Amino acid sequence: MTETLKEPTEPPSTGTTTGLTRASIAVGFAVLCASYMLNAMDRQIFYPLLPEIRAEFGFSLDQGGLLATGFTLGLALAGLPAGYLVDRVSRKTIILISVLVYSIGTLAIPVASGFVDMSVFRLISGVGEGVQATALYAVIGAFFFHRRAVAAGVVGVAFGAGIFLGPLIGTRLATGWDTWRAPFFVFAAAGLVMCLLIALIVNKRLTEAVTGANAGPQGSFDHVPASPYNRNTLGLGIACAVSGLVFYGFLGLYPTFLREQLEFSPQQAALAVSISGFGAMMALPAGWLGDRVNQRYLLAFAFVATSATAYVTYQVATSAPAQYVLAFLMGAFASGFLFTNCTTAMQRAVRPEHVGRGAGLFMLSYYVAAAFSGLLFARLVAGLGWDGAGLWQLTVLPVVGIAGLGLVDTSKMVLRRPANS
- What CA–CA distance (Å, rounded) separates 298 from 272? 26
Q: Give the mean model confidence (pLDDT) for residues 206-220.
A: 57
Q: Is the predicted pLDDT of residue 89 greater than 90, yes or no?
A: no
Residue 312 is which amino acid? V
Q: Considering all CA atoms of the chain, what is the largest pairwise distance in Å, rounded to the nearest integer? A: 62
Q: Pseudo-torsion of CA 123, 250, 138, 76, nearest 10°? A: -30
Give per-residue pLDDT as tens, 279-307: 888 988 998 898 888 999 999 999 999 99
Asked if residues 209 and 92 have their Cβ atoms less than 8 Å apart, the reply is no
Phi, psi of 418 (to 5 degrees): -60, 155
Q: Give the mean model confidence (pLDDT) for residues 358-363.
A: 82
Angle at CA of residue 300, ends 295 and 302, nearest 5°:
95
Checking 260-268 for CB contacts under 8 A at 24+ apart, the result is 260/51, 261/386, 262/318, 262/323, 264/320, 264/323, 266/48, 266/51, 266/171, 267/171, 268/320
Q: Is the predicted pLDDT of residue 398 greater than 80, yes or no?
A: yes
Q: Is the predicted pLDDT of residue 394 greater than 90, yes or no?
A: yes
Higher pLDDT, 141 or 15: 141
Question: HSE (CB half, 13 Å, CA atoms) of 410?
Answer: 22
Give per-residue pLDDT as tens, 235-281: 999 999 999 999 989 988 898 899 989 999 888 988 898 898 888 88
* pTM of the predicted model as reported, rounded to 2 decimal places: 0.73
Q: Is the predicted pLDDT of residue 188 greater than 50, yes or no?
A: yes
Q: Is the predicted pLDDT of residue 218 greater than 50, yes or no?
A: no
The pLDDT score that the predictor gives to residue 62 is 85
Neighbour tally for 364: CB within 10 Å: 26
Closest among 140, 165, 71 to 340, alpha carbons compared: 140
Task: Give the percent of the chain with pLDDT over 90.
Answer: 39
Asked if residues 370 and 245 have their Cβ atoms less than 8 Å apart, the reply is yes
How far CA 144 is from CA of 87, 132, 138, 282, 355, in Å, comes to 16, 17, 10, 19, 12
Task: List CB contacts of 291: < 8 A, sequence separation 6 or more.
Answer: 147, 148, 149, 150, 416
Asked if residues 358 and 342 have their Cβ atoms less than 8 Å apart, the reply is no
